[in-house]
């Protein structure tokens, strides 16, 4: 899948959207397909590649926006092993673009809990299939080790991470958590569900890695295993 193909596909999707200039929309992966939908079409977490007002949809994306959205979509499709054209799925070549090239570290404890999450979410949240496919591949390809043996610079579940946006230099701090914990009432800390696009990109990466094409993992402020919190 090439950037030109993605741009052509996205252009078709945008052209088919009956957009209101003053309402906001986003390009996302929803119900097993790439779509452009109103930002409030669902409260369920799902992969979102770019949010923008309807006016931009009709006037055209800027070169920067095109670079951003094609990079994010390309990353998502490669990670999930999905073809760009969903009509091509019947060919049996759903992994035509190969596995994500970098093997990730994961603890046995996290692996067991994430496998349980995958099974439960498949039964109750079919609209999350795109994210669940990525999680499934991570579980299949991860370098699984005992909690005591995971390096202290690897992002594990419940790690608190400092990220820097290489595009504008801004930094953010967030914790990578299970979906039920992301809905908690602790508003002074940003909690990111593992089933979000960025959450899936971050799990198992190490300090210094870049995710989503522009977010750099600067520091692990907290990793449960490094703090001997093996039951989190």
Which of the two residues, 122 and 30, has the higher pLDDT score?
A: 122
pTM: 0.62
Q: Show the domains of the chain with their CATH numbers.
A: 3-91 (no CATH), 105-222 (3.10.50.30)
Name 38's bridge partners. 25
pLDDT tens-digit series, residues 151-194: 999 999 999 999 998 888 899 999 999 999 987 645 557 899 99
- E-strand spans in 8-47? 24-29, 34-38
- Percent of the chain surpassing pLDDT 70: 88
Model confidence band, residue 85 (pLDDT cutoffs 50, 70, 90): low
Beta strands in the chain (DSSP E): 24-29, 34-38, 48-53, 105-107, 143-145, 160-165, 171-177, 190-193, 210-211, 215-222
179, 175, 174: which is closest to 132 by C-alpha?
179
Checking if the pLDDT of 21 tops 50, the result is: yes
Mean pLDDT of the chain, nearest integer: 83
Average of per-residue pLDDT across 62-82? 84
Tell me: pLDDT of 92 over 50.
no
Burial class (CB in 10 A: 0-12, 13-18, 19+), 21: exposed
Q: Lay out the sheet containing 48-53: strands in order across.
A: 34-38, 24-29, 48-53
């Amino acid at each position: 899948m090439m950037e030109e193909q993605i741009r052509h596909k996205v252009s078709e999707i945008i052209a088919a959207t009956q957009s209101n200039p003053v309402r906001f929309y986003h390009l996302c992966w929803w119900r097993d397909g790439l779509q452009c939908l109103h930002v409030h079409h669902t409260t369920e977490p799902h992969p979102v590649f770019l949010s923008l007002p309807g006016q931009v949809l009709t006037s055209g994306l800027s070169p920067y926006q095109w670079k951003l959205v094609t990079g994010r979509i390309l990353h998502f499709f490669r990670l999930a092993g999905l073809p760009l054209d969903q009509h091509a799925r019947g060919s049996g070549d759903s992994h035509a673009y190969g596995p994500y090239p970098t093997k990730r570290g994961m603890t046995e404890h996290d692996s067991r809990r994430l496998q349980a999450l995958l099974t439960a979410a498949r039964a109750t949240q079919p609209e999350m299939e795109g994210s669940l496919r990525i999680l499934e591949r991570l579980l299949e390809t991860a370098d699984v080790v005992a909690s005591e043996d995971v390096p202290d610079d690897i992002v594990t579940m419940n790690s608190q991470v400092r990220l820097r946006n290489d595009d504008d230099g801004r930094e953010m701090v967030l914790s990578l958590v299970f979906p039920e914990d992301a809905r908690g009432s602790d508003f002074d800390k940003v909690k990111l569900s593992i089933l979000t696009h960025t959450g899936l990109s971050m799990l198992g990466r190490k300090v210094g890695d870049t995710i989503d094409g522009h977010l750099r993992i600067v520091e692990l402020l907290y990793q449960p295993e490094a703090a001997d919190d093996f039951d989190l």
